[in-house]
Amino acid sequence: MKKLETLSAIATDLTAVLTAEDRYTRLLEALHLAIPYDSAALLRVEEEQLLPLAAKGLLPAAMATVFKRSDHPRLDIICSSREPTLFSSDSSLPDPFDGLLLAGSPDSKQTIHACMGCPLWVREQLVGVLVFDAVEPSAFAHLPLQYVEVIAALAGAQIQTVGLLSGLEREARHQGQLASDLMQDIQQQRGREILGNSPAIRKLRREIELVAGSDFTVLILGETGVGKELVARAIHSGSPRSDRPLLYLNCAALPASLAESELFGHRKGAFTGAVKDRAGKFELAHGGTLFLDEIGELSLAIQAKILRTIQEGEVQRLGSEKMIHVEVRLLAATNRNLEEEVAAGRFRADLYHRLNVYPLEVPPLRERKDDIGLLAAFFAEKTKGKLAIREITISQEAQRLLLRYRWPGNVRELENVISRSVLKASAGAISGESLLLSPLHLSADLSAGIYTNPDPPRPSPPSPTEGRSGLSLRDEVKAFQVELIKRALNRNQGNWAAAARDLAMNRSNLHNLATRLGIRERGKQGRTAG
């Protein structure tokens, strides 16, 4: 009767919704109904090693041990057989679990005298073994061979079922993590299109088109804020991998202690806070593209691991001995001079040469000034939508100031300046009113006097400051502000409130600015009627 209960319990668990650990433990508990063991172990076969999946009646050390067939002749005999093996009580072969019987058992200090092993075969493949031990020499003598074979078949099916379910769970976690990373990546994107028609940008587009169709590793070089991430996205979009994921990782934002985990993943318990297994960026990007931004910020130790991944096509999760195959196209970016970093010993020469298969230099904004007007209009339009402004125009005087600034922060700085200026222009404006972005709104950002060499003169309408020479940018902006405010006052017969509305400014802000410029005395009230 107990034998039937055992088989029924195992069969029921095959279709139950259980975790892998629960399935294995319940299998051993069910077998104990009919097999009088003092200890039992279920082990998975991986090439020449056996890894414990579950144990009953054994010390915890048994679950932490990797058993090599070459070191354990009894396990080797079990694995080499197609049928259950019952070892004689006087066998001279050492038992792999001698001394590991659970402490506290009445027989814990006695020698194991009965040992039976069952190889678990599934479709001509050895997937695991069951090992039963007992102190009583005749404990297993009465068990029918056919019954033990049925148990072995069911146990093998259990391992296969758990393996399939675990595989599905891993894939579900992988896809969930991938979706999470991609959604986060989408939220962080600053745009997808490389704007501009300057010769430098047209040349860059041609190079992107050329290299995108290959599978070359690309090293994207350029100053901070030039748009290296957009170049990486353009390369991926034009590649045969465009329908696969593009994963992004900012290496400069990674604490050194987390860099290895983010790149290569980790096993549960590998470090404090590792509460579950997690795939790294290389695994998640398998079949697609991985973009490592600011790669020059990584430590030499992490650089060595990336080099190995490039060379071998394999990653090893932190805390794991298993190698995982990955097939990834790598794009990397840096604002550092890597040749100088190599010479200084801060960057590995071998990794540099692996990355520098096809270098792409993204030009700074000062070398593509023809694009500044287009970019400024794009950023103004983008900000306009956020502030519910009906229309905004950048005045010609403001555009001339934008062209004369050196832009050390490149396109990113231009976007920030335009965003702030549109916000200033909208202060005090009537909702839905059209706005004009003037030098007044740019002055706080561009009054540092950072110049580029002026372009050859182009025909343009006369400006209030035209004819002056030898002025710094700060003085030129100040003079322009003075004349602009005086004109507004003249148009409005000295009415400061009307002049403020005319200049799209808050009245108190106009008073403060006029005081700083010396147009009015501090504390003096201007005419506000009207």
- DSSP for 104-160 reads TSTTTTSPP-EEEEEEEEETTEEEEEEEEEESSTTTTTTS-HHHHHHHHHHHHHHHH
Residue corresponding to tokens 């222009």: 425
Mean pLDDT (the chain, rounded)? 80
pLDDT tens-digit map of 500-522 = 777 767 777 788 888 888 887 65
pLDDT tens-digit map of 67-107 = 999 999 999 999 999 888 899 888 889 999 888 887 544 44
* pLDDT average, residue stretch 199-212: 95
* Pick from 127-136, 138-147, 169-178, 338-347: least confident: 169-178
Q: What length does the chain have?
A: 530
Confidence grade of residue 435 (pLDDT, cut at 50, 70, 90) = confident
Residues 6 or more apart whose Cβ sits within 8 Å of residue 225: 365, 409, 410, 411, 412, 413
* pLDDT average, residue stretch 311-339: 93
DSSP conformational letter for 467? T
- Which CATH superfamily hosts domain 189-363? P-loop containing nucleotide triphosphate hydrolases (3.40.50.300)
Which has more pLDDT, 473 or 176? 473
Pick the closest to residue 200 from 369, 379, 377 (CA basis).
369
**Matching CATH topology for 2-166 and 189-363?**
no
Domain locations along the chain: 2-166, 189-363, 367-517
* Residue 36, number of CB atoms within 10 A of its CB: 15
pLDDT of residue 527 exceeding 90: no
DSSP percent split of the chain into helix, strand, coil, nearest 5? 45, 15, 35
Half-sphere exposure of 52 (CA within 13 A, CB side): 20
Q: CA 48: distance to chain centroid?
A: 36
pLDDT of residue 27 exceeding 50: yes
* Fold of the CATH domain 2-166: Beta-Lactamase (3.30.450)
pLDDT score of 147: 74
Answer for the pair 500, 514: CB distance below 8 angstroms, yes or no. Answer: no
Q: Which helix (H) or strand (E) holds 170?
A: helix 145-188
Confidence grade of residue 179 (pLDDT, cut at 50, 70, 90) = very low
The structure's pTM equals: 0.57
**Domain 367-517, CATH 1.10.1060.10 — does that match?**
no
